[in-house]
Amino acid sequence: MTRSKFLPVDRNDMIERGWDSVDFVYVIGDAYVDHPSFGHAIISRVLESHGYRVGIISQPDWKDKKSIQVFGEPRLGFLVSAGNMDSMVNHYSVSKKRRKTDAYTPGGEMGKRPDYACVVYGNLIRQTYKKTPIILGGIEASLRRLAHYDYWSDRLKRSVLLDSGADIISYGMGERSIVEIADALDAGIPVNELTYIDGTVVKIKDRDRIYDAEFLPSYEDLKADKKTYADSFYTQYLNTDAFNGKRLAEPYSDHLFVVQNPPSKPLSVSEMDDVYSLPYTRTYHPSYEAKGGIPAISEIRFSLISNRGCFGGCSFCALTFHQGRIVQVRSHESLLKEAEIITKEKDFKGYIHDVGGPTANFRHPSCKKQTEHGVCRNRQCLFPKPCGNLDADHSDYVSLLKKLRELPGIKKVFIRSGIRFDYLLADRKRDFLKELCQYHVSGQLKVAPEHVARPVLSLMGKPEHSVYEKFTEEFYKMNAKIGKKQYLVPYLMSSHPGSTLKEAVELAEYCRDLGYMPEQVQDFYPTPSTLSTCMYYTGLDPRTGQKVYVPKNPHEKAMQRALIQYRNPELYDLVLEALKRAGRMDLVGFGPKCLIRPRRSNEKQFSGTRTDKAPRPRKKKKTIRNIHKKK
C-alpha cells in the first residue's frame, strides 16, 4: 500500500498531488483509517468524489496551535470530528475511571485526543482562523447538537455548536448534508447564510429569520426544571424522522437561537452502494505501522456493513437520534464485490467476521409506507409488541448469506452484530433461524435480552421476557433438529433506570435458574441523547411524564451488579447486603433456590477483596457449554 493512495496528511503529500492548497482540512480525534467503517473516511471520500480537495489532520496536539496549521487556511473550511466514539465514552468507563487504552490510536495509546474533543478542536482552530467556516460532524457533535445532559460533568450543557465556536453541525450520517454545505460554500454563499440545509444545526441571531419551526423551551428554562427538559427532549425524539420531522429552535437569548433543521433523507440502495464503492485503501495510514497499527481495525477489517438505521427502538441506544429508524441497505452485488476484495487481502483466513449493522437481521424498512411517509411518530415497530403492519421477512438476508458462503475463498460467514430475536420470531417462516444455526454461529450466539423484570424491560423499550424465553426454546430445538450443540450467551445490563434492588434480585434469580454467571456485566451508561439518559437525569419517563426510580449511588450500583455475579466469592458481602435491603433473606441458605450460603461463624468478613489468606473451596465453574443441559 503506497502513501499516495491516502488523502494528504501533510504539506508534502499535498505537493506530491500537485495541489497548492486544500478545500477542506479534516481534523479528527481518531487515527486516520481509510476504511468505510470510519466516518472520517466516508465523508472525506464523498467530498473527493465531488471534486473537493481534502487534507487530513489526525489527533493534533490540542495544546499547540501550529498542529492545525499543517495545510494553512483551507479554501472552504475546517471539518471537525471527535472520531468514531464520543471522546468521553472513549476515555472513561461508566464509573468515570480513565481507560488504559484507546483502540482508535496507534498502538492503543491513551491520551492522544482531548476530553470534549469537538469543543477543544473547534476553539483551537478559531484561535488562529477567526473567520474560516468550521463544520462539526461525527457521533459526538451529532448527539450533542442541542442542549443535553452530560454525565461526566453531571450537568446540562449547551449545544456543542456554541461551546466549540463552530458555524454549523452536519448531524447524522452526513453524506447528503456535507456535499450541500461544500457546494454552497464553493458557490460563495457565506456560512452564516446556510440556515436551510436538511441534516444540519445552525446558529441564528434574528428570530424573524427562523421559519416553519417549533420552538423548544429556552436553555435557561431547561436548566431550571427537569420536567421541562424531559418534555423538550421528547419533542426532539418525535422529530428524528426525515419525512415528518419538524424544524426545531432552541433559544439561548433574545438574540441567539440554535436551530435544528429536519434530518437528511435516507440513502437509496444505489446511493449506499456508491458510498461503499469509493476508493478506500481499507486500512490505516502507513505512518502508524511503527507503533503497531490501529487496534480497532481488527474488529472490522473482514466484516461487511450491510445496513444502517434501526427500528428496534431501545431506550438506551442513540441510533434513533443519529442514524434514524428507517433501515437503509446495500445491494447484494455491492456486498459480494466487497467480500471478493476482502478474500484477496493477504491476512484473510477465509472467515467473514460479520454481515450486519446496528441490527444484523434488518434488511429493509419495517413497513412499506416508511420510504414515502416516514416512521410513526407515536408508535414503535416492535415495542411493546410487533406492529400489525410490520414486514417481518428475512428472505433477502438469507439469500445474501447464501451467496456470500458460496464465494471462492470463504470458509465461514459469521453474524456478530446484534440479532433482534423478537423480529426473528415475528417472521412466521423459520428459514433464517435454520440458516443462522446451521452456518453462521460458531458454538455461541450472543443476544441481548438485557433484563428479565417487566418494569425495567418496559423502560428499556425491550419485549417481555417471555419473548426471549420463546426464542431460546426455538433456538435449542433448531440446533437439536440439525444435530448441533450451540449455546446462547445473554447480554445483561444492571442499574438501568427503573431497576430497584427488587428487579436486580429477579435478574440474579434468572441467572441462577439458567446456571450461568456472566464474567462481565454492563452497568447502564448515560451517554448523550438517549431516552434512558433523559430518565437518568430527570427521574422521569419523557414518554409518559411518570416518575422513574434511578439507581445513582455507586454502592447501590455495585450491589446490583454483584447480584448478577453472585457466585463470585469476592462479591459475597455486597450480595448479602443487597439481599438484606431487598428483604430477600430467603435466598441465603442451603436450598437449591438460594443464591449464597450463610457465612460460618468463624469466617472472616471481607469487603470487595479477600482479607484472609486461607483459600476457600470453590465449586467448579460452569461453562457456557453446560448451562443449558436441562434444556
Q: Out of 410, 442, 474, pick the residue that ends a domain.
A: 442
Based on the fold, state whether residues 356 and 456 are members of the same structural domain: no
Say if 231 falls within a structural domain: no
Whether 135 is covered by a domain: the verdict is yes
Measured distance CA(78)–CA(55) in Å, rounded:
10
Cα separation, 315 vs 544, whole angstroms? 13
Q: CATH number, domain at 29?
A: 3.40.50.2300
pLDDT value at 616 more than 50: no
**pLDDT exceeds 90 at position 378:** no
Same domain, 46 and 156: yes
pLDDT for the residue numbered 324: 93
Sort 562 into a burial class: Cβ within 10 Å, 0-12 / 13-18 / 19+: buried
Confidence band, pLDDT 50/70/90 cuts, at residue 604:
low
* Residue where a domain stops, chosen among 442, 460, 476: 442
65 vs 227: CA distance, rounded Å: 42
| Residue 519 pLDDT | 75
Q: What is the pLDDT of residue 240?
A: 95
**Domain span holding position 580:** 447-597
pLDDT at 621: 45
What 3-state class would DSSP assign to 149? strand
Question: How many residues does this entry show for the chain?
Answer: 631
Question: Binding site residues for [4Fe-4S] cluster, as ranges?
Answer: 310, 314, 317
pLDDT, mean of residues 263-288:
97
Provide the number of structural domains found in the chain. 3
Question: What are the pLDDT digits (tens) for 545-557?
Answer: 999 999 999 999 9
The verdict on pTM exceeding 0.75 is yes
Least Cα distance to 41 among 290, 273, 265, 285 occurs for 285
Q: Is 614's pLDDT higher than 50?
A: no
Q: 418: pLDDT confidence band, cut at 50, 70 and 90?
A: confident
Residue 457 and residue 335 share a domain: no
Q: Are residues 106 and 173 in the same domain?
A: yes
What are the tens digits of pLDDT across the range 134-160?
A: 999 999 999 999 999 999 999 999 999
Look at residue 289 and tell me if it is in a domain: no
Q: Is 343 helix (H, G, I), strand (E, B) or coil?
A: helix
> 498 and 395, same structural domain?
no
> Is 616 a member of any domain?
no
Confidence of residue 515 (pLDDT cuts 50, 70, 90): confident
- List, as residue ranges, the binding site: 310, 314, 317
The one-character DSSP state at 33 is B
Do 330 and 463 reside in the same domain of the chain?
A: no
State whether 497 and 466 are in the same domain.
yes
Together in a domain, 426 and 475? no
Task: Please report whether residue 274 resides in a domain.
Answer: no
Mean pLDDT of 68-95: 97
Q: What are phi and psi of 201, to 5 degrees?
A: -125, 135
| Bridge partners, residue 303, by sequence | 354
What pLDDT sits at residue 617?
41
3-state SS class at 459: helix
Domain containing residue 529: CATH number: 3.30.750.200
Degrees (nearest 5) of the Cα angle 80, 85, 90? 115
Judge if 428 and 460 occupy the same domain.
no
